[in-house]
């Protein structure tokens, strides 16, 4: 091989390598979730949150102004939380210890009504306390599972919006937590944080499938708790 041929081959190799790297970069960009100038979404919300009107979030197409007595047009931690939840367009996976907040329940029911895949995992004891919204969710046809173990609590407080946005922190979905407690919530689309929560939700969902447990129990107690 002459020197000229060798240089030509090296040149072609370099071009091919450059094109290959470009193509891999292009593919990586296509496969990665959307990243703004600051990278994936990262937001921190602190509670308690003031009570303001959030009607516009439930019905963004509404044309007439809301006449309720609450303050309007104010962004709060709660309105941000609600906005993130209502941004769901495919699915909502919710894993929450205590769920009695009426507005959050309304949001979950609204998403279910829009045809989204909604799954809720909750605690065995807390799902039936006074004011719990779990019964309302089940009556609406939302698939709810609860911690089957009698000795541990399902104490998580996280939600996955469309499987790509994670909402997690100390906040239980109760009016007390939202309006009175000092609580924190992180909202993120960082895949390295979202994926373990997706995996854990799937694992807990399967582990708490009553179909896998009922056959160990007498039939009279098999469904006790499941339909509460």
Q: Concatenated DSSP letters for 92-151?
A: EEEEES-B--HHHHHHHHHHHHTT-EEEEEE-TTGGGSTT-SHHHHHHTT-EEEE---SS
End-to-end CA, the chain:
82
Total residues found in the chain within this entry: 228
- 43 exposed, middle or buried (CB, 10 Å; 0-12, 13-18, 19+)? middle
| Cβ neighbours for 195, distance < 8 A, ≥ 6 positions apart | none
Tokens linked to 117 = 């895949």
What single-letter DSSP state applies at residue 224? T
Residue 8 designated active-site: no
- Name the active-site residue from 155, 199, 209, 224: 155
- The distance of closest approach from Cβ of residue 98 to Zn ion in the complex, given in angstroms and rounded to an integer, is 27
d(C-alpha 35, C-alpha 210), whole Å? 39
Residue 157 designated active-site: yes
57 lies in the binding site for Zn ion (CB under 5 A): no
Site map (CB under 5 A) of Zn ion, residues 65-104, x = contact = -x-x------------------------------------
Residue 162 designated active-site: yes
- The distance of closest approach from Cβ of residue 81 to Zn ion in the complex, given in angstroms and rounded to an integer, is 18
- The distance of closest approach from Cβ of residue 48 to Zn ion in the complex, given in angstroms and rounded to an integer, is 20
- The distance of closest approach from Cβ of residue 164 to Zn ion in the complex, given in angstroms and rounded to an integer, is 31
Tokens linked to 153 = 């609590």
Tokens linked to 225 = 């708790």
53 lies in the binding site for Zn ion (CB under 5 A): yes
Tell me whether residue 1 or residue 68 sits nearer to Zn ion (CB atom).
68
Which among 34-42, 49-57, 143-151, 178-186 is the span making contact with Zn ion, rule CB under 5 A?
49-57
Tell me whether residue 57 or residue 66 sits nearer to Zn ion (CB atom).
66
Which among 64-72, 81-89, 90-98, 165-173 is the span making contact with Zn ion, rule CB under 5 A?
64-72
Which among 46-54, 57-65, 142-150, 167-175 is the span making contact with Zn ion, rule CB under 5 A?
46-54
d(C-alpha 214, C-alpha 55), whole Å? 42
Tell me whether residue 43 or residue 55 sits nearer to Zn ion (CB atom).
55
User: Cβ atoms within 10 A of the Cβ of 127, count?
Assistant: 24
Tell me whether residue 53 or residue 140 sits nearer to Zn ion (CB atom).
53
- Name the active-site residue from 101, 146, 157, 165: 157
Residues near Zn ion, by CB under 5 A = 53, 55, 66, 68
> Could you list the active site residues?
155, 157, 162
């Amino acid at each position: 091989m002459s020197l000229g041929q060798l240089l030509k081959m090296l040149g072609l190799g370099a071009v091919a390598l450059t094109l290959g790297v470009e193509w891999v970069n292009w593919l990586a960009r296509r496969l990665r979730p959307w990243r703004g100038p600051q990278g994936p979404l990262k937001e921190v919300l602190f509670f308690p949150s003031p009570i303001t009107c959030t009607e516009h979030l439930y019905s963004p197409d509404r044309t007439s102004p809301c006449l309720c007595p609450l303050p309007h047009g104010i962004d709060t931690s709660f309105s941000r939380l609600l906005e993130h939840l209502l941004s769901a367009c495919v699915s909502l996976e919710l894993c929450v210890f205590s769920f009695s907040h009426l507005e959050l329940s309304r949001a979950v029911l609204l998403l279910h009504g829009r045809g989204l895949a909604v799954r809720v995992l909750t605690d065995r004891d807390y799902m039936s306390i006074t004011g719990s919204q779990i019964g309302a969710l089940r009556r609406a046809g939302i698939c709810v599972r609860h911690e089957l173990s009698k000795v541990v609590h399902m104490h998580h407080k996280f939600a996955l919006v469309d499987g790509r946005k994670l909402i997690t922190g100390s906040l239980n979905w109760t009016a007390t937590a939202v309006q009175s407690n000092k609580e924190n919530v992180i909202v993120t689309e960082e895949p390295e944080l979202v994926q373990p929560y997706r995996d854990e939700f799937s694992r807990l969902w399967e582990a708490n499938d009553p179909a896998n447990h009922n056959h160990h129990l007498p039939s009279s107690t098999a469904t006790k708790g499941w339909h509460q």
